[in-house]
Structure 1
Amino acid sequence: MGNASRIHDNARHLAADDEWEVTVLAPPPTFPFGSFERSWERSRTYERDGMTVHRLWAWQPTTEDPGLASRLLYYVLFPLHALLWLTINYRSFDVIFLSSPPVFVGIAGLPFALLDRKPLVVDVRDLWIDSAIELDFIEEGGLFERFSRAYERVLLEAADRITVTTALLGSRLAATYGIDEEKIHHIPNGVDVDRYTPTETETEGTKTIVYTGNVGHAQDLESCIRAVGRLERSDVVFRIVGDGDRAPALKRLVAEEGLEDVVEFEGLVPREAVPGYIEDAEVGLAPIKSDEALEYAVPTKTFEYLACKVPVVATGSGEIESVIESSGGGVVVDNDPDAIATVLDRYLDDPQRRERLGERGRRHIEAHYDRAATARRLGTVLEDACGGGSGTSSPRGRPATTEAE
């Protein structure tokens, strides 16, 4: 999924830098829920890409769309286990880097920040509480929301630095919690441009529309499926690469619309296989639901499509519009099947247009969103949190990166 690839790439680039030794704490492979067998190992340690990875036991939901109790067990037990590990191995790291959501991952590092024992950098990828309310997972104004808001306020106030994936996200955090904007740093999402590279392929016959990533509640795949059904052509296939809570409902929709021969569910695939699916496509879809709470969001798949010279058709508003417009590599349309179908038809029938958009998108990604560059920016933030300051030399650091998948 997008966050896992982002955390992995940034940590890998940090580990390749002589300044850093990286230890990653993560739960057993769990998400999408129901896709993995439950593990009862207390911990599993291995080396990967220059990093030391500790898989710490946590509750693992085994159904595709688990209830709130099962989700909370997963969200809370992992950070408690990570807190225990960090307490035992207190002297082996210099800075703690937490990636949220879920917001409760902060449990692992909050005591160290409150006691001023270790610098804490909190990475906020989205407005998890706002999104949960918009998607009707939790009740607005209810006890759970009030508790979560109070906890997140304490966590963000205690953090030495906060990183965010979009400028709008940082502004909203500052406005919601009264945080000093000087400690908020914009580290954009992006893509490993060496891994996601375009290939010169000539396609004949069937044309492919691709979606890669989480099949969740924030993605408007329903409108995309209906849009594909309204294309008056027999030479197209819509390939959904990934899995998530909404997959069963989407499969039912495909059956209801009679699109079993047009929409293909690839399920989970190895991460190294994802670029191949994108390169084989004529168009990439990045659909976000049209909710105010999601205006900060720019899916990782957007950068991956652009890097592979695949034009992007996106939905949603806010940051996604800014990225697509500045890249020149696609278009944002309304969350309406007819509007999506019109643009898909236009792109599929115009290879010259696709080539122009692809070239612009690739150049934009190389200039602004290469993960090697964003990892260097993250390294500067971590060094600053450790007291090294920007542009100064510091002892070889040991960040402990903690994330829930």
Structure 2
Amino acid sequence: MNILFITQYYPPETGAAPERACEFVRFFKRKGHAVQVITALPNHPAGVVQERYRGMVVCREKHMGADVIRTYVYASPGKTPTSRLVNHLSFAFCALLGLLFVKRPDVILLTMPPLFLGATGLAFKLLMRRPLILDVRDLWPQAAVDLGEMKESFLTRALTRLELFFYGKSDRVTVVTRGILKSLISRKVPEWKVNLVTNGVNTDVFDLAERGPNPYESLGLAGKFIIVYAGVIGVQHGTAFVARAASLLSGQRDIAFVFIGEGVKKRELKTEAERLGLDNIHFISDQPVEALARFLGHSHAGLATLRDLPFCDGVILVKMFCYMACSLPVVLAGRGESKGILDEAEAGVCVEPEDPARLAEAVTTLYNDRELGRRLGAHGRRYVEERYSRRLSADKMEEVINEAVRPR
């Protein structure tokens, strides 16, 4: 089968969306499918096009055996509502250049958000006369409203109608959480059309995490009890309070917080750490997945956070699965679906969101009881192998694709 995959976010970018896309491509190629990818010039999450791609309008290359067409996108490190809108619209338009380079596929798989990419998908569906599957990772614009980035208005109501129009014109819709699934069905998207295809983790990559030298040695952190946060530091994560938790633990010299990744809220977190005069919180730039696995393999607990908002109750943090795959106990500051998974796995400690005192207590508990951490970590590894491996997610996505292309 020939699969055309349209996604704004793709490696070498990092984060949940590029990782999900990458693992689908890896799996599809292993199963013998031909894969074509249309994506943006890499710029996420820093908002700066990576150096080797600067000045390009279209770039063609191979990645894991797939044909990848990268097109121009407006990128800006300043993440304002206007700059994000232009970023999304620019790729939705420029992705149409892919029509000049791709072969006619059997099926089109497109990730949303960005919402406007749905129009691009419909154009490909109509011109190529092939079924369209929308892989929905967030409900937009509702997510932007709930996170305080947009206000309820005529514009958001119009965008919501556009969102529902795209769902209605697609052949299948896949979603990453049960909350999104319930929302779409409650909004009259036919139940037969919507499928749950959760995120997960490549358990093979993270199974090798403890091999190799300790990467923390070069940072002077070898021998410390390390709580690592790995991934995008974004609006929904509410990480600023972690600096206050680190301040409460500053008297314990053996404990260190390490943030690995980029995001729009990284500067805010660093500023708060500097204001508090902390030397127990450290920042490392984005890492390739294999290097990230080594960092996780030499850490003692994985930190995952969400803001204290109803919207965040429906978010499942992919970083939790990475920690579990490395047999790390998870410290979650959050509620909802992420907490439900952690409780079911018995793989960590959960506290209320944005509560520095409770976070400090949870870290202290794991610091004082290393055997508890090892036990929780073992539970997590077993849980993701059985429930949340990328292979299982990709198997489910392949089932949805087969249903979409099957004559009706």
Instruction: Give TM-score, length-normalised by structure 1.
Output: 0.89
Please list the CA deviations of residues 326-349 of structure 1 after superposition, one character each: whole Å capped at 9, or x if unmatched: 111112210211111101100011
Shift of 1:115: 7.6
Give matches, 1:26-175, under 5 Å: 26-37=39-50, 39-61=54-76, 63=77, 65-86=78-99, 88=100, 92-113=104-125, 117-140=129-152, 142-175=153-186
| Equivalent-residue separation in structure 2 for 1:89 and 1:129 (angstroms) | 31
How many percent identity over aligned positions?
A: 29
Segments of 5+ residues of structure 2 without an aligned counterpart are 1-14, 215-220
The residue number in structure 2 matching 1:357 is: 376
Shift of 1:33: 3.2
Give matches, 1:202-217, under 5 Å: 205-217=223-235
Q: Kindly tell me: are residues 168 and 13 of structure 1, through their superposed partners in 2, closer, same or farther at Cα, counting changes over 3 Å?
A: same
Contact conserved, 1:127 with 1:293, CA < 8 A, in 2? no
Shift of 1:205: 3.4
Please list the CA deviations of residues 173-219 of structure 1 after superposition, one character each: whole Å capped at 9, or x if unmatched: 222x3111221111111000100115389997311010011111110
The residue number in structure 2 matching 1:401 is: none
Give matches, 1:308-387, under 5 Å: 308-335=326-353, 336-387=355-406
Q: What is the number of residues matched between the two proteins?
A: 382
Amino acid across the alignment from 1:6: R
Q: Kindly tell me: are residues 171 and 115 of structure 1, through their superposed partners in 2, closer, same or farther at Cα, counting changes over 3 Å?
A: farther
| Equivalent-residue separation in structure 2 for 1:353 and 1:85 (angstroms) | 52
Contact conserved, 2:314 with 2:336, CA < 8 A, in 1? yes
Matched, 1:224 2:242: yes
Shift of 1:35: 4.3
Matched, 1:187 2:202: no
* SS at structure 2 position matched to 1:31: coil
The residue number in structure 2 matching 1:402 is: none
| Equivalent-residue separation in structure 2 for 1:385 and 1:125 (angstroms) | 19
Contact conserved, 1:120 with 1:159, CA < 8 A, in 2? yes
CA-atom RMSD in angstroms:
2.1
The residue number in structure 2 matching 1:397 is: none
Contact conserved, 2:273 with 2:281, CA < 8 A, in 1? yes
Segments of 5+ residues of structure 1 without an aligned counterpart are 390-405
* SS at structure 1 position matched to 2:204: coil
Contact conserved, 1:166 with 1:186, CA < 8 A, in 2? yes
The residue number in structure 2 matching 1:240 is: 259
* SS at structure 1 position matched to 2:173: strand
Amino acid across the alignment from 1:367: E
* SS at structure 2 position matched to 1:195: helix
Runs of at least 4 residues off by over 6 Å: 200-204
Shift of 1:12: 0.9
Amino acid across the alignment from 1:24: V
Q: Kindly tell me: are residues 36 and 77 of structure 1, through their superposed partners in 2, closer, same or farther at Cα, counting changes over 3 Å?
A: closer
| Equivalent-residue separation in structure 2 for 1:115 and 1:205 (angstroms) | 59
| Equivalent-residue separation in structure 2 for 1:299 and 1:128 (angstroms) | 18
Contact conserved, 1:11 with 1:375, CA < 8 A, in 2? no
Amino acid across the alignment from 2:299: A
Shift of 1:134: 2.1
Please list the CA deviations of residues 208-231 of structure 1 after superposition, one character each: whole Å capped at 9, or x if unmatched: 010011111110211222112112
Shift of 1:85: 2.1
* SS at structure 2 position matched to 1:29: coil
| Equivalent-residue separation in structure 1 for 2:272 and 2:139 (angstroms) | 29
Amino acid across the alignment from 1:92: R
Q: Kindly tell me: are residues 204 and 54 of structure 1, through their superposed partners in 2, closer, same or farther at Cα, counting changes over 3 Å?
A: closer
* SS at structure 2 position matched to 1:128: coil
* SS at structure 1 position matched to 2:34: coil
Contact conserved, 2:74 with 2:90, CA < 8 A, in 1? yes
* SS at structure 1 position matched to 2:371: helix
